[in-house]
Chain A
């Protein structure tokens, strides 16, 4: 299979998915253009040309695509889907908008997102690799890199509330990502993961002042995964002394779709069980995981949950309505944060501080 010549590929950011594919494809001789991490300019560029009530991930993706096209990309690879949330239709509208703006490029989507085989086929097509097995190996390596990144982040969350020197865990986390990025096979990745565990567990801890409250994070996947979109909620909570645990991780979400590690426990199925009586059927997106996940955190003795969502996100609007009831029934504090391009960081900070104060006071009271 001949590799298509002069392909300059870009993928709009979704969490740190770039860690999965960018270097790996480059090593196979593919020219990859990674857009800047979503930032104020991406947001401005994207919002300006997007439908007003399109969700924030759409607008940030849009911004990233424009940035990448400016950097010379000629092929956009992005995510597909079949509903019921809008995510699966992003690429169609985005392509129309970009073409109407005069950009020239080809748009590729894996339109059957739940099939690993179509993603692997795309990888093979881009890299010119003919062997299916080789294609799978590359794909598996990509996924494991992402799992390692998620693992590092989780460790970082564990360490941050007690770090003696503010910012130490964040720096270590960035080092961890660099280590992962530098690996070129599974063996090196395994070594890197050991290094990362040592690195993060060696961060000096201060003795606790206020109790470390435990907060679960749930919500729409993009908003949960993108610190630049959620004003670094996780870091802020950690620096306020909270231990943060995720109800959803990108690598797990991908595994549930692609089953590259089919033996792993399904978070969705667990959430389905726990949500019974509150949400008896998925309302699309991460709605079940948001509701079931919040209930899980309540049952596990967490102090509260922060629920993160884009403005107008349909599945999370359903979840939000139900979580209001869950919070009341279980006497369990749940803070919903809704983001769009007009959301101010100061307001979010205030709400987070008030929330952590509340949780610490409840702990103190016992």
Chain B
């Protein structure tokens, strides 16, 4: 076989790449990634995107454009829902469609629908559909699925421990089985904590956020991110809201943020968002309100768009981190 399957380094790459990579390799395909985000990709995406499309989606278009000529198939999953009472945001639901509408000369798409609300549209069924489209046999597909789910499980375990996704991906790459006790990039070193919450494609795209996470670490803080909070804790915190948030990713972000706030172990919180994000417009307000009302905590809300300057972001970040350091000095902290 050896068909080249393209996966973009965007959107939910940061949460599901090990699953997808393992599966496609397992059915004999070669997985080709788009390059890491860089200026050209962002600029092209912004040009291709229709007016009000949010930045992560525009970036995604740029990634697809950068990848389309290098692969035989493009994996563009239709992610409808991850649980029976949530949806992803509408753009994920219509992703293959608006990509097809916006870009020319696309290779054949692998666009299975993943919808946890519908029986028969789960992860297994969706990936199986993609495997069949690639010409793999049922037995091969099943073996690849089992392996892929196991790899993904290990990956998610590392995320829970605070491993940055890209490091965790390398660690679980089944080609190089590593002991996970190996302290790669240790997440917790006993330093004061800052929570950084937001969608994974905002948090972990180092070009987009000017390597914000490393900068915060560089100032002497350990990070707490939504990936480190369990589903149970997320559900528990959401149950305190008048209505649980019904967007899969946002439910997790808000649940995690409320969890961090209630534990009281953080010195500050950063909310990272992209311009044009619908769900964030609501979750930001929910969090802003609660932090103002109940928690006396340094809080920085950053919204980037394609014009965000590094200097501007830097200035605000440094001012914030300075304030956090100042407060913890006052409190007799480290």
Chain A residues engaging chain B, CB cutoff 8 angstroms: 51-55, 82-86, 88-89, 91-93, 95-97, 100, 111, 278-285, 287, 311-315, 317-318, 320-322, 324-326, 338
Contacts and interface: CB of A to CB of B under 8 A. Distances in A.
Given A51-B284, A95-B242, A321-B53, A280 B278 contact: no
Given A86-B278, A338-B52, A92 B98 contact: no
B325 interface: no
B210 interface: no
A51 B93 CA distance: 24
Contact of A317 (B91, B279, B284, B285): B91
Contacts of A287: 90, 94
20 contacts: A51-B281, A82-B85, A84-B87, A84-B89, A84-B90, A89-B245, A89-B246, A92-B241, A95-B242, A278-B97, A278-B101, A281-B93, A281-B94, A287-B94, A311-B52, A314-B91, A317-B52, A321-B53, A322-B98, A324-B50
- The 4 A-B residue pairs whose C-beta atoms are closest, nearest first, are A283-B94, A84-B87, A325-B101, A318-B94
A338 B49 CA distance: 16
B281 A314 contact: no
Nearest to B293: A100
Contacts of A317: 50-53, 90-91
B195 interface: no
Contact of B90 (A95, A318, A325): A318
B96 A280 contact: yes
With a 10 A CB-CB cut-off, give which of A111, A313, A318 has the most chain B CB atoms.
Answer: A318
Given A86-B278, A338-B51, 7 more contacts: A83-B87, A84-B87, A89-B245, A92-B241, A97-B285, A322-B98, A324-B102
Interface string B91-135: 101101110111000000000010000000000000000000000
A96 to B, nearest CB: 6
B276 A53 contact: yes
A285 B90 contact: yes
Contacts of B241: 92
B80 interface: yes
A321 B93 contact: no
B12 interface: no
Nearest to A50: B285
Interface in B53-106: 53, 78, 80, 85-91, 93-94, 96-98, 100-102
A86 B278 CA distance: 7
Given A84-B247, A312-B52, A325-B102, A53 B281 contact: yes
A318 B52 CA distance: 10
B155 to A, nearest CB: 26
B278 A312 contact: yes
Contacts of A92: 241-243
A293 B281 CA distance: 29
Contacts of A51: 281-282, 284-285
Given A96-B289, A281-B97, A324-B50, A312 B243 contact: no
Contacts of B93: 84, 281-284, 318
Contacts of B87: 82-84, 284
B143 interface: no
Interface in B254-299: 276-279, 281-282, 284-286, 289, 293
Interface of B: 49-53, 78, 80, 85-91, 93-94, 96-98, 100-102, 113, 241-243, 245-247, 276-279, 281-282, 284-286, 289, 293
A321 B281 contact: no
Contacts of B98: 318, 321-322
A89 B80 CA distance: 18
With a 10 A CB-CB cut-off, give which of A100, A282, A285, A312 has the most chain B CB atoms.
Answer: A312
A93 B53 CA distance: 23
Contacts of A279: 94, 97
Contact of A86 (B49, B101, B282): B282
A318 B281 CA distance: 18
A88 B246 contact: yes
Contacts of B100: 325
Contacts of B97: 278-281, 283, 318, 322
B91 A281 contact: no
B289 A54 contact: no
B152 to A, nearest CB: 24
B102 A321 contact: yes
Contacts of A97: 285
A321 B101 contact: yes
B305 to A, nearest CB: 12
Contacts of B51: 317, 320, 338
Contacts of B94: 279, 281-283, 287, 315, 318, 322
A53 B286 CA distance: 14
Contacts of A283: 90-91, 93-94, 97
Contacts of B246: 82-84, 88-89
B101 A52 contact: no
A325 B284 CA distance: 33
Contacts of B101: 278, 321-322, 324-326
A365 to B, nearest CB: 28
Contacts of A315: 90, 94
Contacts of A322: 94, 97-98, 101
A277 to B, nearest CB: 9
Contacts of B49: 321
A336 to B, nearest CB: 8
Contact of B281 (A96, A280, A285, A312): A312
B265 to A, nearest CB: 26
Contacts of A52: 281
A89 B281 CA distance: 12
Given A93-B286, A318-B91, A312 B276 contact: yes
B312 to A, nearest CB: 18
